[in-house]
Structure 1
Amino acid sequence: MNNIFYFLGELINLSSSYILIAMLIVIGVYFTIKTGFVQLRMLKEMFRLLGEGAIKGKDGHRGISSFQAFCISTASRVGTGNLAGVAIAISIGGPGSVFWMWIMAIIGASLSFVESTLAQIYKEKDGDHFRGGPAYYIEKALGLKWLGVLFSIIITIVFGLIFNSVQANTITLAFEKAFFIDKKTLGIILSVLTGIIIFGGVRRIAKVVEYIVPIMAVAYVSIAVFVIVKNIGMVPEIFLQIVKGAFGVNQAVAGGIGTIVMQGVKRGLFSNEAGMGSAPNAAAAANVSHPAKQGLIQTLGVFTDTLLICSATAFIILISGENTKGVSDGIQLTQEALVSQIGSWGSIFIAICILMFAFSSIIGNYYYGEANIEFLNGKKLWLILYRVSVIGMVMFGSIAKIQVVWNLADFFMGIMAIINLIAISLIGNIAIKALKDYREQKARGLDPKFKKSSIPELENIDCWEE
């Protein structure tokens, strides 16, 4: 039995740490070049688009706005990993891992643009809103329905069920420590709240995360800014630690440059989910006039997650110096670092942040599963069964110890990401042509509008009528 678990662990490590990361880097660099560094050159346009409302369809419904779709994907991206994962990366790889986290966010942002633009192009109309994602463009553009079905099954199980149980588990552990609240009681409360939101449909989901995401991000970053300003004299030294550590200077004892790079790369990629195939499910829901608009907005989501939230955690830890004491890692390190800077209420603040981060992730993760349940089977009964299962997994996760389940989820998420990366490598040229069309219309002073004929070779397109 021990040999089986060892083999499984090695398989997970190989798929999620080496094969997947190599693919993400190579394909990310490729699309960065092919798009003309879209993630940097069009940063100003991303912020401008964030304020656009949803366009009105022929039926009079406006659907989900770009900002709401951005919030759904950011809700899933920004979770406990931003607080605990960064701390683990620094504990293992040192300050230099933060530098590689930043680099991978910049490279990975091009993947986010491509996959989200493709999700918009190949989306489907579903009542008064849209749905789509990798399963849809795999079937429509590549004609591989079986592969789309496999992707849908994996993402539904991993994000909708397993990851949600892990998020619920983190919430109850944090609150049990900070407020001495019984895990079963809090589990019941979380399950009820989850049920109220997800049974309200995609619009209620969008409305909830539209408020939670900005509040949690602003609150957490504000505390980080306070800590930085309070210790402004240390900032140049912190940057020096990060840059020197990134290239292995004085890091031989910590495992060398390989460990530093690997930790930074993993944290950057697995936190912002760029190229993983999850965020496109939310991107497809937006009602916009051009697919590239949502591609640009989702690119901004990568920066929000990694360059903003993860960096906030990194600076709090490095300024405090708690990472050099070797007492703890993960969420405990983040808590101790903040307590050292703002007092004992810092631990309570982190617990509240975990509640908002993790609960919003539950809602965002749920929606990814919903979009794929509808791809697999459009019958209402299956969607109801899925919703009940999500609520059950939230309750299960609140009281269970689920490390083995988490390891399995990492493995299957790696498989999911590899499927998506192969797909966007084959059809990414469509997204690049959509970006060219967008830029050409902008150059003529127009508000870009997309239609099927904008890219002549497009087939199996359900939306974007003439």
Structure 2
Amino acid sequence: MDFHDLPFVCFCPLRVSIKTIQKKGDFYMFQDFLTWLNDFMYTYILIFLLVGCGLYYSIRTRFVQVRKIKDVLSILKEKANSDGSDTKQVSSFQALMISTASRVGTGNIAGIATAIAAGGPGAVFWMWLMAVIGGSSAFAESTLAQIYKVKDGADFRGGPSYYIERALHSRKLGILFSIALIACFSYGFNGLQSYNISSALPYYIANYNDTIWPAVIGLILAVLTGLVIFGGVHRIGFITSVIVPIMATCYILLGLFVTLTNITQLPGVFALIFSEALNPKAIAGGFAGSAVVIGIKRGLFSNEAGMGSAPNAAASALVSHPAKQGLVQTLSVFIDTLVICSTTAMMLLISQVPGESGVLDGIPYVQEAVKSSIGEVGIHFITLAIFFFAFSSLVGNYYYAESNIRFIKDNKIVLNVFRCTCLIAIFLGAQADFSTVWNLADILMGFMAIINIFAILALSNIVIRTLKNYETQKKAGKDPVFKASDIGLDNTDCWK
């Protein structure tokens, strides 16, 4: 018997049951429903909310995400324990890395490949545009998370659920957001991250999907993630602050090498991106298949600006002013989309390997593109990169979900049961179907974004007053220190 077909008792019944379900008509009806709901949400609701919110905050803050870049670099140098205490705290840099760990995932590789395969090169332009505009939304949500964070022993926690409850006086809506985030990150995104790394392996294993290996990969990922998430927030901060810069740097260096060795193709690549930005590849399928919608959808999945996820990491940082962490989180959006996503886009378009939705997309598309530029070693590099991107995202995703579990019910038994369900989702994701995991992730993050955008728009005056307070102190030559009473607030825990 071939080892690939070895019937491990603990995996085979699960694999057989999945195969059986997928043959039934009900499964395909469910798939059709997910596709319809996905298209409806982004075409008629989210495209207007995401763009509208980003433009609104960009105008009201005078494009704070661009004009305060110099401040961001100085804030990142600040230490969490600048007061000389021995208590371990999460610094601005570690909070940035935790949020970047979740933003920078396989979406930066597989997501871009899927976007170009489905929406054409023009989708890249819309991702760039959403990153620039969305940076202001990221500033707003992360500033609010800092204002309304709460003390949790030696740590801080917070996020949309907390500022919805405190500032909008609605615990029910806060719980609804928490449920949406937990479902999205613990089950939607983690399943997708696990699937993406699994999808990189068919190159190495013949008939991969019909073997036991997807289950084995799912188990390995679940075990490795379990070792981290049972270690606490400081271990998460340490691992992501080490892994994220290394993996991002190596990936960017590869992209630079491919780009510079094919630099004569760059004018044609940029011309293609801009010319097709308003010329939908899938126009016959309607606006839902256009470069505009696909670019915005994949941009949201990649950088998460306005979605309400990064504020959970932003709240954990110890800073002297909420606006500082708001500014830092704008940099995470730019790192994710303008740097890492662009790296993938350039490698794909320079290769001239034709991507096609449902035929050659996702990880296999990236592998083939890099192989055409640097040979077979490129496939191995992408596989390794996918593992590190996926693992860092699994860790970052869990941190966001844990904060929201504690918002609903701060109980150790509940938390440990939840951790186990996260690991099950990771295990199953490696064996899932392409359309199911992507549609489910898109829909769940869409629900999150709808709730969060309405909240940050309703609280815009608090964000603007906080920014003005920060800028006034900076103009006076001070290191800004925030007091809630200075802007008329009396409902915060940490800024009295």
TM-score by length of 2: 0.88
The verdict on how the C-alpha distance between 1:395 and 1:257 changes in structure 2, with shifts beyond 3 A counting, is closer
The verdict on how the C-alpha distance between 1:250 and 1:204 changes in structure 2, with shifts beyond 3 A counting, is closer
| Stretch moving more, 92-101 or 277-286 | 92-101
* d(CA) in 1 for partners of 2:356, 2:317: 46
Please tell me whether the aligned partners of residues 258 and 347 of structure 2 are also in contact (alpha carbons under 8 angstroms).
yes
Q: Who is 1:319 aligned against? A: 350
Counterpart secondary structure, 2:228: helix
Please tell me whether the aligned partners of residues 355 and 361 of structure 2 are also in contact (alpha carbons under 8 angstroms).
no
Give the alignment's Cα RMSD to 1 decimal: 2.4
Counterpart secondary structure, 2:79: coil
Structure 1, gaps ≥5 residues long: none
Please tell me whether the aligned partners of residues 17 and 266 of structure 1 are also in contact (alpha carbons under 8 angstroms).
no
Q: 2:366 pairs with 311, 330, 334, which one?
A: 334
The verdict on how the C-alpha distance between 1:352 and 1:82 changes in structure 2, with shifts beyond 3 A counting, is same
Counterpart secondary structure, 1:322: coil
Counterpart secondary structure, 1:130: strand
| AA at the equivalent of 1:305 | D
Q: 2:272 pairs with 241, 257, 264, which one?
A: 241
Please tell me whether the aligned partners of residues 92 and 254 of structure 1 are also in contact (alpha carbons under 8 angstroms).
no
Structure 2, gaps ≥5 residues long: 1-25
The verdict on how the C-alpha distance between 1:26 and 1:53 changes in structure 2, with shifts beyond 3 A counting, is same
Please tell me whether the aligned partners of residues 247 and 257 of structure 1 are also in contact (alpha carbons under 8 angstroms).
no
Q: Who is 2:4 aligned against? A: none
| AA at the equivalent of 1:264 | G
Matched, 1:259 2:285: no
Matched, 1:309 2:340: yes
State the 1:301 CA deviation: 0.5
Q: 2:321 pairs with 270, 281, 290, which one?
A: 290
Correspondences of 1:169-188 after superposition (within 5 Å): 169-175=195-201, 177-178=203-204, 182-188=213-219
Please tell me whether the aligned partners of residues 122 and 280 of structure 2 are also in contact (alpha carbons under 8 angstroms).
no
Correspondences of 1:43-58 after superposition (within 5 Å): 43-56=69-82
State the 1:88 CA deviation: 2.1
Q: Who is 2:449 aligned against? A: 417
Q: 2:479 pairs with 422, 437, 447, which one?
A: 447
Counterpart secondary structure, 1:323: coil
* d(CA) in 2 for partners of 1:45, 1:179: 49
Deviation readout 1:248-305 (Å, 9 max, x if unpaired): 3999899899822222222222211100011100110011111111101111010011
Counterpart secondary structure, 1:175: coil
Deviation readout 1:206-232 (Å, 9 max, x if unpaired): 001011110111010100000111011
State the 1:77 CA deviation: 0.8
| AA at the equivalent of 2:228 | I
Q: Who is 1:207 aligned against? A: 238
* d(CA) in 2 for partners of 1:12, 1:403: 11
| AA at the equivalent of 1:438 | Y
Please tell me whether the aligned partners of residues 55 and 288 of structure 1 are also in contact (alpha carbons under 8 angstroms).
no
| Stretch moving more, 94-103 or 356-365 | 94-103
Q: Who is 1:19 aligned against? A: 45
Matched, 1:120 2:146: yes
The verdict on how the C-alpha distance between 1:57 and 1:142 changes in structure 2, with shifts beyond 3 A counting, is farther
| Stretch moving more, 63-72 or 427-436 | 427-436
* d(CA) in 2 for partners of 1:150, 1:63: 29
| Stretch moving more, 240-249 or 142-151 | 240-249
Aligned length: 464
Matched, 1:39 2:65: yes
Q: Who is 1:435 aligned against? A: 467
Q: 1:102 pairs with 106, 110, 128, which one?
A: 128
Deviation readout 1:48-75 (Å, 9 max, x if unpaired): 2222221457974241011111111111
Q: Who is 1:140 aligned against? A: 166
| AA at the equivalent of 1:83 | I
* d(CA) in 2 for partners of 1:254, 1:435: 44
Please tell me whether the aligned partners of residues 160 and 367 of structure 1 are also in contact (alpha carbons under 8 angstroms).
no
The verdict on how the C-alpha distance between 1:460 and 1:178 changes in structure 2, with shifts beyond 3 A counting, is farther
Deviation readout 1:131-169 (Å, 9 max, x if unpaired): 000000000000010000111112112202332122122
| Stretch moving more, 403-412 or 330-339 | 403-412
State the 1:368 CA deviation: 0.7
The verdict on how the C-alpha distance between 1:325 and 1:72 changes in structure 2, with shifts beyond 3 A counting, is closer
Counterpart secondary structure, 1:464: coil
Please tell me whether the aligned partners of residues 240 and 392 of structure 2 are also in contact (alpha carbons under 8 angstroms).
yes
Q: Who is 2:259 aligned against? A: 228
Matched, 1:460 2:491: yes
State the 1:35 CA deviation: 0.5
Counterpart secondary structure, 2:156: strand
The verdict on how the C-alpha distance between 1:7 and 1:236 changes in structure 2, with shifts beyond 3 A counting, is closer
Please tell me whether the aligned partners of residues 110 and 196 of structure 2 are also in contact (alpha carbons under 8 angstroms).
no
* d(CA) in 2 for partners of 1:250, 1:367: 38
Please tell me whether the aligned partners of residues 89 and 155 of structure 2 are also in contact (alpha carbons under 8 angstroms).
yes
State the 1:390 CA deviation: 1.5
State the 1:352 CA deviation: 0.6
What percentage of residue pairs aligned between the two structures are identical?
51
Counterpart secondary structure, 1:305: helix
| AA at the equivalent of 2:413 | L
Q: Who is 2:392 aligned against? A: 360
Please tell me whether the aligned partners of residues 186 and 398 of structure 1 are also in contact (alpha carbons under 8 angstroms).
yes
Matched, 1:218 2:249: yes
| AA at the equivalent of 1:242 | I
Deviation readout 1:191-244 (Å, 9 max, x if unpaired): 222111111110000001011110111010100000111011222222222222
| Stretch moving more, 158-167 or 201-210 | 158-167
* d(CA) in 2 for partners of 1:195, 1:52: 31
The verdict on how the C-alpha distance between 1:409 and 1:225 changes in structure 2, with shifts beyond 3 A counting, is closer
Counterpart secondary structure, 1:399: coil
